[in-house]
C-alpha cells in the first residue's frame, strides 16, 4: 500500500493528496446520480394531477423524519469530531465519537425501517402512486448509502483502526477525513430530501 504514490503527501500539481481528490470526484458523480433523481422528481411533479403529490406526501410521518434529520446532523458533527480527535492525538475520543456516529447511522436505519413497514402495513407501496414511486426510490437509494457508510465506519471502529493507529497515525487520520467527506455528503443529500418529500 505504501508503494501507491501521493496517498498522504500532496501532489505538486494539484496541491492535494490523491485520496482527497479521489473522494471529491466520486462525490461529484454522486451529485449527478441524486441530481438525476431530483430532476425526475421535478418532472413527475410538474406532470402529476393537481394535489396528487400533496395528498400522498401527507401520508408521510413528519415527526419521524424530523427526528431522523436531527440524528444525521448529530452524526455529522460526531464524525468531524472523531477526525479532530485523531489530529489531537486522542485515540480514545476518536473511538467514542466514531462509535456515536455508527449508533446514529443505525438509529436512522431503525427509524426508516419503522417508516417503511408502517407504509406497507397500510398497503402503501412504490407502485401505489407516482409520489410513492419516487419517494421509495430516493429514500431507498439514500438508505443504501447509509448502510454502506455504516459498514465502512464499523471497519474503522474495529481493531483494524488500533492497528492502523500503531502503524501509521497520519494514514488513519487521512482515511477518516475521506470517510467523513462521504458521510457528510449523505447528510447533505438528506437535508434536501427531507423538505422536498416530507414538507412540500
Partner 1 sequence: MSNESKENIEHHIKVYINVFIALAILTIVTVAVSYLDVSFIEAFFIAITVATIKGSLVLAYFMHLISEKQAIIWVLVFTFIAFLILIFLPLISVTDSTGVY
Under the criterion CB under 8 A, does residue 15 sit at the interface with partner 1? Answer: yes
Under the criterion CB under 8 A, does residue 4 sit at the interface with partner 1? Answer: no
Which stretch in 99-107, 115-123, 128-136, 190-198 sits in contact with partner 1 by CB under 8 A?
190-198
Under the criterion CB under 8 A, does residue 74 sit at the interface with partner 1? Answer: yes
Question: Applying CB under 8 A, which of residues 7, 48, 64, 84 lies at the interface with partner 1?
Answer: 84
Which stretch in 127-135, 138-146, 161-169, 179-187 sits in contact with partner 1 by CB under 8 A?
179-187
User: Which 138-177 residues touch partner 1, going by CB under 8 A?
Assistant: 174, 177
What's the per-residue H, E or C state across the chain? CCCCCCCCCCCCCCCCCHHHHHHHHHHHHHHHHHHHHHHHHHHHHHHCCCCHHHHHHCCCCHHHHHHHHHHHHHHHHHHHHHHHHHHCCCHHHHHHHHHHHHHHHHHHHHHHHHHHHHHHHCCCCCCCCHHHHHHHHHHHHHHHHHHHHHHHHHHHHCHHHHHHHHHCHHHHHHHHHHHHHHHHHHHHHHHHHHHHHHHC
Residue 136 sits at the vertex; the CA angle it makes with 133 and 142, to the nearest 5 degrees, is: 140
User: Which 19-58 residues touch partner 1, going by CB under 8 A?
Assistant: 20-21, 24-25, 28, 31-32, 35-36, 38-39, 42-43, 46
Query: Closer CB to partner 1, residue 33 or residue 158?
Result: 33
* Contact characters 85-114, partner 1, x per CB under 8 A: --xx--------------------------
156, 94 contact by CB (below 8 A): no
Positions touching partner 1 (CB under 8 A) are 10, 14-17, 20-21, 24-25, 28, 31-32, 35-36, 38-39, 42-43, 46, 62, 66, 69-70, 73-74, 76-77, 79-81, 84, 87-88, 174, 177, 180-181, 184-185, 187-188, 191-192, 194-196, 199-200
Amino acid at each position: 500500500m505504501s508503494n501507491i504514490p501521493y496517498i498522504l503527501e500532496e501532489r505538486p500539481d494539484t496541491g492535494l493528496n490523491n485520496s482527497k481528490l479521489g473522494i471529491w470526484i466520486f462525490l461529484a458523480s454522486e451529485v449527478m446520480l441524486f441530481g438525476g433523481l431530483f430532476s425526475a422528481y421535478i418532472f413527475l411533479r410538474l406532470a402529476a394531477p393537481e394535489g396528487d403529490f400533496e395528498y400522498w406526501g401527507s401520508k408521510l410521518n413528519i415527526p419521524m423524519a424530523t427526528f431522523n434529520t436531527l440524528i444525521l446532523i448529530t452524526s455529522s458533527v460526531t464524525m468531524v469530531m472523531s477526525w479532530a480527535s485523531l489530529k489531537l492525538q486522542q485515540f480514545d475520543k476518536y473511538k467514542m465519537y466514531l462509535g456515536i456516529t455508527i449508533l446514529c447511522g443505525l438509529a436512522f436505519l431503525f427509524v426508516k425501517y419503522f417508516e417503511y413497514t408502517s407504509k406497507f402495513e397500510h398497503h402503501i407501496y412504490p407502485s401505489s402512486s407516482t409520489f410513492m414511486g419516487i419517494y421509495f426510490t430516493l429514500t431507498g437509494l439514500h438508505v443504501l448509502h447509509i448502510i454502506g457508510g455504516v459498514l465502512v465506519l464499523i471497519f474503522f471502529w474495529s481493531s483494524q483502526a488500533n492497528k492502523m493507529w500503531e502503524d501509521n497515525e497520519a494514514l488513519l487520520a487521512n482515511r477518516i477525513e475521506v470517510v467523513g467527506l462521504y458521510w457528510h455528503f449523505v447528510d447533505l443529500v438528506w437535508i434536501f430530501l427531507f423538505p422536498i418529500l416530507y414538507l412540500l
